[in-house]
Amino acid sequence: MSTEAVAQTPKAPKANPPKEGGKSKKSKKSDQFLLKTPKGTKDWADKDMIIREGIFSSLTQLFKKHGGVTIDTPVFELREILTGKYGEDSKLIYNLEDQGGELTSLRYDLTVPFARFVACNSISSIKRYHIAKVYRRDQPAMTKGRMREFYQCDFDIAGNYDTMVPDSEVLNILCDGLTNLGINDFKIKLNHRKILDGIFQACGVKEEDVRKISSAVDKLDKSPWEVVKKEMVVEKGQPEEVADKIGEFVKLNGSIREVLEQLKSSEALSTNESAQKGIEEMAILADYVDAFEINKFISFDLSLARGLDYYTGLIYEAVTAASAPPKNASELKEKATKDAKDAKKDDEDASEYVGVGSIAAGGRYDNLVGMFSNGKSIPCVGISFGVERLFSIIKARVAKQLDAISSTQTQVYIMAFGGGEGWNGFLKERMSVTNQLWKAGINSEFLYKNKANIRKQFDAAEKSGARVAVILGKEEFPKGEVRIKTLGQGNDSDEGELVKTDDLIQAVQQKLADLDKDGLDQITRLIKAI
């Protein structure tokens, strides 16, 4: 059923009834509204939820494996907590109305609330993960997972540790997180803010302009260098020779060691303290990346800037072939805008002319906690997985296999076979057996009908997605026996296995285990692309 429909608002009763013999006036036009979700949001149900819950489960297990503890924070924060933390993206924050004298805004990400949480609770070290919704007043592209309300799955490490050790573990989590979801064709683009800032300084950018130029460079994944250079020169007032010098650096990419060699040979950077500090840290990271065996996924890319203001060191984002916009994006955008205008619609969707974007991203932010705790800074580094973007990739991959999977998680269906004189359908007995299975942690169902024919029970079992049937036979059950049958192989493929009711739980558990290949259930195998 479509989420859009036209609904009528109820009419208020007339204050005065019509005079006797008179006619009440009818409204010329009934009050109507369009029944839909707000722009950039959607309802989630049925098989889409199977994929999303699979993503949550996979990432949660990974976070716990690395020692993470979970927290939760309010969906809205005091506005001053969020103000000034996101650079040019601050315009995308959803501000709420004044409530009881407090100005608040919906959280833009989970990182700033985490930093506020660390400061509020005087925490000196923590590995935390947080899975929750965030909100951005951005142009949506629904089929690409770019939405105004969406989930992020974050893992962050706060505390004072040896240089680049937490950073390398977070990169390992990023790689495992994606490969565990069956996404293997990704590349982690990484850079270092100290190196980037050093490049800008060495090329002649004034200190007060560094963040502005950084946000321009950050657009190189969507726009060619000529467009970015024009923004630097025309919109942000940099001399053309400064932009050209920057251009020579931001075009560099390759393995960590390859790019380091080029940076170390640069005379312009040789005396820059910021750049040299970043180069030193990246050299350490190169060894740790080798230790974790994730070097093949990494590209040291000097065009990566990450527009958020709070990053202070290593920055990174994971991209796939679906991340980039179409080559003719500008023409597609122009057409989509014209079509929306012609149709007199103000809810243009950007799906046709944008890419999925980064599917995970993060970095080091050593000063953010200090903004909330009178300068007492706690170094932090983290990663954020974009669930809706991961969902769009996984759904495209598993669309055909998903048709064969039920949206319910029923494992066993309890049936009763019989008939003739004295047959009561064993409804009470089916309830009792189902209850035993529930108490053993087995997802089970039975048909809510006293005397159900065999065909209806099999149809219900198929609809539920159950893989095993427990059959209570008219002659067998009174003798303390039930039949266990594998479903999904045709109604008459086998008679099933006759077992004692006392052995029912163990027999069902073994049957389900035998059906799970490599100990993984059907949905886990689907999500992991096994």
CA pair distance 308, 211, nearest whole angstrom = 9
- Say what angle helices 387-402 and 46-65 make with each other, to 10 degrees: 120
**DSSP letters for 377-400:** ---EEEEEEEHHHHHHHHHHHHHH
Instruction: Give the residue from 471, 468, 486 showing the smallest Cα distance to 433.
Output: 471
Q: CB-based burial of residue 284 (10 Å sphere; 0-12 exposed, 13-18 middle, 19+ buried)? A: middle
Enumerate residues 6+ apart whose C-beta is below 8 A from 508: 412, 437, 440, 442, 468, 470, 484
Q: Enter the tokens of residue 419.
A: 């008939």
Amino acid type, 289: V
Write b or e for each residue in 296-314: b if 16 or more Cβ atoms lie within 10 A of its Cβ, otherwise e.
ebbbbbbbbbbbbbbbbbb
Burial class (CB in 10 A: 0-12, 13-18, 19+), 114: buried
Distance (Å) of CA 291 to CA 116, 184, 216, 330: 33, 19, 34, 43
| CA–CA separation, 54 and 521 (whole Å) | 11
Q: What share of the chain is helix, strand, coil (3-state, %, to 5)?
A: 40, 20, 40
DSSP 296: G
Binding residues: 109-111, 136, 152, 156, 306, 310-311
Q: Which residues make up each annotated binding site for L-histidine? A: 109-111, 136, 152, 156, 306, 310-311
DSSP state of 372: G
